Chain A
Amino acid sequence: MDVLLASRLQFAVAAGFHFLFVPLTLGLSVLTAIFQTLWLKTGDEDYRRAARFWGKLFLINFGLGVVTGITLEFQFGTNWRFYSQYVGDIFGSLLAIEATLAFFLESTFIAVWWFGWNRINPKIHTLAIWLTAIASNLSALWILLANGWMQNPVGYVIREGRAELADFWAVLTNSFAWWQFLHTVPAAFVLSGFFVLGVSAWHILRKNELTFFKKSFRIAAIWTVIFSLYLIVEGHIHGAEVARVQPTKLAAMEAHWETEKGAGWVLFAIPDEENERNLVEFIKIPKVLSLLAYHDPNAEVKGLKEWPKEERPPVAWTFWAFRIMVGLGFLFGLLSILAYLARNNPEKSPRLLKVLLWNIPLPYVAAQAGWIVAEVGRQPWIVYGLMKTKDAVSPLSSVQVGISLPAFIIVYGILGIICFWLIAYHAKKGPEKVSEIPSELVTKTNK
């Protein structure tokens, strides 16, 4: 098998699989911290049980997130040697800072939280889950500063055949990276919010622990509506930023071939990359693409034909992934409003509850689609405009990658199935009864 293709697939598997677990980690850690804080403030036992219940699901998910994260850090060196040499001066330092600032904090305090229930003061214990949540989201910031640099390299000079750091401040304030952060983390919050709504819906439909799950539902509904609606606005600004910084990606996202002023926006199309056109275009609205991308109905939007074929990203992938993400984004906006309206008496809306249950996987699909837009849409560049993916791959033998790629797929596949099965098992089991919580803990927290 071709080493380049196999390495790309392997990275896609490793990164995509890792990101099945990251969003829930980012959001559920904060929600768990909120539940525990509510318990601390109100003394309501249901909130303590909520922290323990959602925290356990968080932890099962967290385990796979951690171990698959190590792979990614190794993959740059193992499979993308020339990339690593070329960008290590900037990209490597961002990863090292992420580990120092975030990973130690996250891994230490999640353990303090999980093992500390009956050992440490409840206030410090609540602080531990907050530190875990903050550290997780801090690590998202640093990794997105690193990815943002690949999307929009800034603050560098080319010296001795590599990109060297020239302006650290420019790397830290890279607007593209910040828009990615302001998109990815709230998207993770939406996924987590719908996860809590979906699991709560399952129990509410069965009249199981009704008071408990209504409380979880209510908080998750408020949380989800905030971030879902925010994302619709942010997504638009984010898209305009893509238009400014990565015109080839934008053209692929919209399957837009010809450079034109007052470009129209098409709802659906079947891109024909061979013949540089769209086979079918379904619902085309004049001037809307120019308006969306540049806030001016007559602005010029560059088409894919502007660039030679070898500098265009795969159009169909980018186009469809973008549409799936945006379409689901609007669906989430609608669903979150309905959930918000039903927040006080969700048991009276059984149909909504069923939809919310079946909705659980959809934010995962949206998140994966989002990364496909970001990463496939950046092709053929590994660092936009600076280095091509094909020039970055390690001098490996096809046997090495030919074995490692299927190994990743098999091991990850098995672990993924086990993880989601275990989450579902514990989610269905529901929270512990107060009497099941070790007594030592009750006496300690009642003080």
Chain B
Amino acid sequence: MDLEFYQTLWFVLWGVLWAGYLALDGFDLGAGSLLYVLGKSDQERRAIYQSIGPFWDGNEVWLITAGGATFAAFPTAYAVMFSSLYTPLLLLLFALIIRGVAVEYRNKYESPTWRNLWDIAFFVGSLAPALLLGVFFANLFKGIPIDEKGILQTNLLGLLHPYALLGGILFVFCFATHGALWLALRAPEPLASRSASLAKITWAITFVLTGFFLLISGFFTNIWQNFKNYPILSIVPILMICTYLLVPVFIRSAKYLHAWIFSALTIVLFTAWGMIGLFPNLLPSSIDPAYSLTIYNSSSSLLTLKIMTIVAVIFVPVVLLYTYWAYKTFSYRLSKEEVSY
């Protein structure tokens, strides 16, 4: 098969990796951003850590793999994207670093000061990535001012326009809802019930923000163009609204697993919406579409894409299989006793 097929295939896989990352790390980042809202006591905060303990690290590997796949399949896009977004990416990195260490170290020394300091790191390190990822994707959808050489013609403030900030706030509330649903599923009572109640509120805010975001994307970006050309694709955003509408229904009947799964599905469909809108761009230029990095002008060679495809076909199912097993084994509700030792 020819190069164009593999370029398209890797664009799809790129989207799948981002969707996987956002749907999975989304809940543990969200849970972390609610540390002080939901964790009324040290014991409850400990329960929040413990709820995400077995999962956060594996979830973050999706980000590493998404980055690695960008590097491997679309090296030019990786090079321009990462160097143009230098400051926001390093901020994301530092946030994830202190957060990861906070999760690992918080309960390994008995001192309230020690725990309080790591709690701050965990909270900031969870909230900031949600915000930055939203800003990142909104910038991706809108395009960034890169010239014909791929040099960024603005600074950090130029990337923080209102549309990007809306994206950031949307991600924060979406992840918070996703995290609260996970806590409703795993945390001991009464934390679980409080999480469920909070999820109802943040869900409503997320729902409104999403509608608004989809609407103004029509003014700020070209993301709806592909949907206008192929109206059948509109099934994706419609389906997304439907899956999200089911979330509060499940919360009300206390089916938190279902609520969480539908929240995850919504995130996947949101990513699909964005990716369909971007195609075939990986990084659109807001100066001139001719400067945009697309799957055609920034991909790896046919041989590399073929080898990567073989690796993905064999190993991604294996990864999904043991990830599923780990989730099945550790998604039980935590008991109070288990949180205390």
Contacts and interface: CB of A to CB of B under 8 A. Distances in A.
A166 B303 contact: yes
Interface in B115-163: 151
Contact of B87 (A112, A400, A419, A425): A400
A9 interface: no
A93 B72 contact: yes
Contact of B54 (A56, A60, A112): A112
B58 A77 contact: no
Interface stretch (B34-42, B74-82, B224-232): B74-82
A60 B97 contact: no
Interface stretch (B59-67, B236-244, B251-259): B59-67
A436 B99 CA distance: 29
B215 interface: no
Nearest to B66: A99
A267 to B, nearest CB: 42
A440 B330 CA distance: 17
B83 interface: yes
Interface residues of A, number: 70
A110 interface: yes
A103 B322 CA distance: 13
A331 interface: no
A96 B72 contact: yes
Nearest to A56: B108
A92 B75 contact: yes
Interface stretch (A115-123, A189-197, A220-228, A348-356): A115-123
Contacts of B104: 59-60, 62-63
A268 to B, nearest CB: 40
B308 A96 contact: yes
A120 B332 CA distance: 13
B311 interface: yes
Interface in A8-43: none
A283 interface: no
A104 B58 CA distance: 6
A122 B304 CA distance: 41
* Majority-rule SS of A interface residues: helix
Nearest to B54: A111
B326 A394 contact: no
Interface stretch (A78-86, A316-324, A382-390): A78-86
B83 A395 contact: yes
B279 interface: no
B15 to A, nearest CB: 15
B55 interface: yes
Contacts of A438: 341
Nearest to A401: B86
* Majority-rule SS of B interface residues: helix
B250 interface: no
Contact of B71 (A96, A400, A404): A96
Contact of B101 (A63, A101, A395): A63
Given A66-B57, A74-B82, A84-B75, A96 B94 contact: no
Contacts of B8: none
A97 B311 contact: yes
Contacts of A411: 94, 97-98
A164 interface: yes
A414 to B, nearest CB: 9
Interface in B27-61: 53-55, 57-58, 60-61
Contact of B329 (A69, A89, A100, A116): A116
Given A93-B304, A394-B86, A99 B61 contact: yes
B82 A78 contact: yes
Contact of B82 (A81, A109, A119): A81
Given A73-B67, A95-B68, A108-B58, A100 B315 contact: yes
B312 A115 contact: no
Given A100-B65, A100-B312, A115-B330, A78 B83 contact: yes
B159 to A, nearest CB: 13
Given A85-B76, A96-B69, A107-B58, A70 B304 contact: no
Nearest to B312: A100
A164 B3 CA distance: 14
B71 A70 contact: no
A110 B57 contact: yes
30 contacts: A56-B108, A59-B104, A66-B57, A67-B97, A74-B93, A78-B86, A88-B71, A88-B72, A88-B79, A89-B300, A92-B71, A95-B68, A96-B65, A96-B71, A97-B308, A100-B316, A103-B65, A104-B319, A107-B60, A108-B58, A119-B329, A165-B300, A394-B79, A396-B83, A396-B86, A404-B87, A407-B90, A411-B97, A415-B97, A438-B341
Interface of B: 53-55, 57-58, 60-61, 63-65, 67-69, 71-76, 78-83, 86-87, 89-90, 93-94, 96-98, 100-101, 103-105, 108-109, 151, 300-301, 303-304, 307-308, 311-312, 315-316, 319, 322-323, 326, 329-330, 341
Given A78-B90, A103-B64, 20 more contacts: A77-B79, A81-B80, A81-B82, A82-B79, A88-B74, A88-B79, A89-B304, A93-B72, A96-B69, A99-B64, A100-B68, A109-B322, A111-B58, A119-B329, A159-B301, A162-B75, A396-B83, A396-B86, A400-B86, A404-B90
The 6 closest A-B pairs by CB, nearest first: A88-B75, A77-B82, A63-B104, A92-B71, A96-B68, A96-B72
